[in-house]
Structure 1
Amino acid sequence: MVTTLENKNRQAIAERLADVKAFQNLIISNEQKLLETCQDQDLRERLQNMLSDDQKNLGIIDTVIVQYGVQSEPNPASQKIIEQYEQLMSSNDISLYQKFIQLETLKHGQCMSGIVIHKAAQKVGADIEVALGPLNTVNFENRAHQEQLKGILEQVGVREMTGQDADQGLWARVQDAVAALSGVAGSVMTQNTDKQDMNIQTLIRLDHNKVNTIFTEIGATKDPQKLQEYFGQLYKDLLAHAQAEEEEVYPNVRSFYGDNDTQELYDEQAQMKQMLDEIKAIDPTNADQFRSKIKDLMDVVGDHVRQEESTLFMAIDRNCSDEQKEQMATRFKAAKSKIQQGMAESVK
């Protein structure tokens, strides 16, 4: 019987990711409330830019959760904190300055959560680090927003106390420079600066990278228990990926990729699914047979990956607009998330 990688450490990371998503929604809600009450045009422009970034970053967080492949609800304590924040930000008893302080605090919390999740991934598994890669842009942009909010707090705080605008001195210039640098670094990390979602090639490639990492981990361990655990994750990831492609990608590319080439992709994945079930049935103590079958599976998956990342990706680029590629990615991600949720429900 295959064991899975949904141990307590991986489940803890899944819960923290769910927290990050819940707090991201809270940040977006708070920024929208601030836009409703803030009259200063310069501050409104900064807020609107942050809101656009945060709405995009919510899509990235969703992508990371699907790539990670372990579903969770936010921690109950986090849900209580969010409820308290919502009440506070809706209150007329605190000033605009105090509301911006709360937003800056939330941004700091998101930065620290992102760092802690990455540090935890380094201790738990290389495949997690691969899945979490896109989260880097969220971390960098939250850091940039923190610096921008310090400048906003300076302006709003001085204005509330004196009725006059603060002088734009050294601190403001430093704040703008750090914010710009952090934003550029975040953009470089994912090359995803102006899109609500990644395109379909990027999402598929992220899946391929994670699977290749798990194959590497299987090859590097001699622990029978670890072999079974890694295969458990590989089994789920490959099945969810294949089913989502068959639902949302292959039917939409057949018209320009061709019947024969598209059917070849279906056939390769059918072979892969059969091999996964054969490996799943192997006695865990028969390490030699297990490794031999894994090697065969790796060859089949490798051929499939090479075809997708060469001819299929080129065909998509030639025949689909950026918007169509992003829409396909959105549908693929939603299908994969639904499949993962079904898998989780089936083992309860």
Structure 2
Amino acid sequence: MAKKKATDILSLIEADHRTAEKIFAEAEGAKGAKKMQECFDQLYKELNLHAYAEELVFYPAMQDHEETQEYIEEAEEEHNSVKILLEEMKSLEIGGSEFKTRMMHLKESIMHHVEEEESEIFEAVRGCMGEEELMELGQEFQAAKGRMEAEVEESLAKR
């Protein structure tokens, strides 16, 4: 099995953001409930793993730097809102009007979070964390996602 290339945490978070954007685009073009279900399941898994790893690795590292502490509370609130929305969507009829409305709200929430992270938070982080710390955090971020994968999949299976 090939070892994952070491990458800094900001690059990993950006890659997750691009993945979510791609899945949202697929969902918008989905024809039929089966494809929509696949897109939702993928979003559920990706967003939960991403949020968990950020909360376990990225936010505590930000807490260590005065320049980045101010961003944590809002980011955590956004994560909580998304997690609640994902759990609510799990029980809705795929493709129904309520599901579609919540999917639109989910996308708006995620795009707002992504914009804030990439335009404000990353700049602040780069100003106070060195390359070595960002690389270490990247390894921890990947490991955290790996540890939670089975639990997230199990949660998704409970409908």
Could you tell me which of 7, 26, 34 is aligned with 1:225? 34
Q: Distance in 2 between matches of 1:276 and 1:298?
A: 11
SS state at 2:93 partner = coil
| Structure 1: gaps spanning 5 or more residues | 1-20, 25-57, 61-196
Change (3 A) 1:333 1:321: same
Work out the number of aligned pairs and report it. 156
Whether 1:272 aligns to 2:91 is no
Whether 1:201 aligns to 2:10 is yes
**Alpha-carbon distance, 1:343 to partner:** 3.1
Contact 2:67–2:128 under 8 Å retained in 1: no
**Alpha-carbon distance, 1:228 to partner:** 1.1
Q: Distance in 2 between matches of 1:328 and 1:226?
A: 35
Change (3 A) 1:287 1:344: closer
* Correspondences of 1:209-248 after superposition (within 5 Å): 209-248=18-57
Query: TM-score, normalising length from structure 1?
Result: 0.43
| Structure 2: gaps spanning 5 or more residues | none
Match of 1:293 in 2: 102
SS state at 1:282 partner = coil
**Alpha-carbon distance, 1:252 to partner:** 0.9
User: Cα deviations across residues 220-253 of structure 1 (Å, max 9, x unaligned)?
Assistant: 0121111111101100110010011000000110
Larger Rg: 1
Structure number with the bigger relative contact order (C-alpha 8 A, sep ≥ 6) is 2
Change (3 A) 1:275 1:343: closer
Q: Distance in 1 between matches of 2:13 and 2:66?
A: 19
Q: Distance in 2 between matches of 1:204 and 1:282?
A: 29
Q: Distance in 2 between matches of 1:212 and 1:320?
A: 27
**Alpha-carbon distance, 1:311 to partner:** 1.2
Could you tell me which of 282, 285, 307 is aligned with 2:92? 282
Query: TM-score, normalising length from structure 2?
Result: 0.91
Q: Distance in 1 between matches of 2:149 and 2:75?
A: 21
**Alpha-carbon distance, 1:259 to partner:** 3.9
- Alignment root-mean-square deviation, CA: 1.8
Contact 1:241–1:336 under 8 Å retained in 2: yes
* Correspondences of 1:109-128 after superposition (within 5 Å): none
Contact 1:224–1:287 under 8 Å retained in 2: no
